[in-house]
């Protein structure tokens, strides 16, 4: 896609990367700045966003002074700190994005498109961010997100009771061949490109007009536990090597 100075897209208007990184993390303490393969994990997201060359600003939304300092050191902006209300365990990603966009509006700054980029997404690449933007620009979508295929058909998934008893969620597929079942996908948990105006109206990221970019399973890993973290570092090292 042909780029114009300052990251302005061909539909007009500046673009913003929003990296939400609150200080609280119960399962992995200080998760957003914990070292991952030699650098704070948030650095991988910031660097991919900067390398993509498509943003007017790459900002981190945080309530934490230490995270803010790390973010600034690796090239992101932190123009304001997140409020307590948008930092508790019940705040949603949409709540954070609405607060960020509102704070910019108070400073007379508006954005046509934005990308919510998670701070614990070390597999994100500048190329994937550009591809997501191209999909947003080239289609009738309000949101574009990365997805990955489930490795096993969810149509043969099992429900398990406390006593160990199992039964099929979809018993009609008991005798179906795996190759005859449709593929199913899940959120890759890395980023969401979105048009700001529709988002401000709906306050929902995954609405009726959501497009996708498929990523290979090797480039996708949830990081919710220390075991997940170890798996992610092993996969990331293999990818880099």
What is the spatial distance between Cα 82 and Cα 60, in angstroms, rounded to a whole number?
Answer: 9
Interval 55-79: pLDDT, tens: 999 999 999 999 999 999 999 999 9
Residue 238 pLDDT exceeds 70? yes
Measuring CA to CA, which residue among 131, 104, 142 is closest to residue 48?
Answer: 131
The crossing angle, in degrees rounded to 10, of helices 126-138 and 41-52 is 50
240: left (phi over 0), alpha (psi -120 to 50) or beta: alpha
Instruction: Give the CA count within 13 Å in the CB-facing half-sphere of 196.
Output: 23
Least confident of 4-13, 29-38, 104-113, 172-181: 4-13
Q: What pLDDT was estimated at residue 132?
A: 97
- Angle of helix 41-52 relative to helix 65-73, nearest 10 degrees, comes to 40
Q: How confident is the model at residue 10 (pLDDT cuts 50, 70, 90)?
A: very low
Q: Are strands 15-20 and 143-149 parallel, antiparallel or unpaired?
A: unpaired
Q: What is the pLDDT of residue 97?
A: 97
**DSSP at 81:** P
pLDDT at 4 over 50: no
Confidence of residue 130 (pLDDT cuts 50, 70, 90): very high
Q: What domains lie within the chain, and their CATH numbers?
A: 5-148+186-240 (3.90.550.10)
Residue 6 — pLDDT band, cuts 50, 70, 90?
Answer: very low
């Amino acid at each position: 896609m042909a780029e114009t100075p300052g990251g302005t897209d061909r539909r007009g208007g500046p673009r913003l990367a929003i990296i939400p990184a609150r200080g609280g993390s119960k399962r992995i303490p200080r998760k957003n700045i914990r070292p991952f393969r030699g650098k704070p994990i948030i650095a991988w997201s910031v660097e991919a966003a900067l390398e993509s060359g498509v943003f007017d600003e790459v900002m981190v939304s945080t309530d934490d002074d230490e995270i803010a300092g790390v973010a600034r050191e690796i090239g992101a902006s932190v123009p304001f700190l997140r409020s307590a209300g948008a930092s508790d365990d019940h705040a949603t990603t949409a709540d954070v994005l609405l607060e960020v966009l509102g704070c910019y509006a108070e400073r007379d700054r508006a954005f046509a498109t934005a990308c919510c980029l998670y701070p614990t997404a070390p597999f994100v690449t500048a190329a994937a961010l550009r591809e997501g933007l191209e999909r947003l620009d080239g289609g009738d979508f309000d949101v574009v997100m990365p997805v990955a295929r489930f490795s096993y058909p969810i149509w043969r998934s099992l429900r398990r009771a406390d006593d160990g008893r199992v039964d099929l969620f979809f018993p009609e597929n008991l005798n179906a061949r795996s190759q005859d079942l449709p593929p199913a996908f899940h959120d890759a948990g890395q980023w969401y490109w979105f048009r700001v105006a529709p988002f401000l109206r709906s306050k929902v990221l995954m609405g009726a007009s959501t497009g996708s970019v498929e990523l290979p399973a090797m480039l996708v890993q949830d990081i919710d536990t220390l075991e997940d973290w170890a798996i992610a570092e092993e996969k990331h090292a293999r990818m880099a090597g």
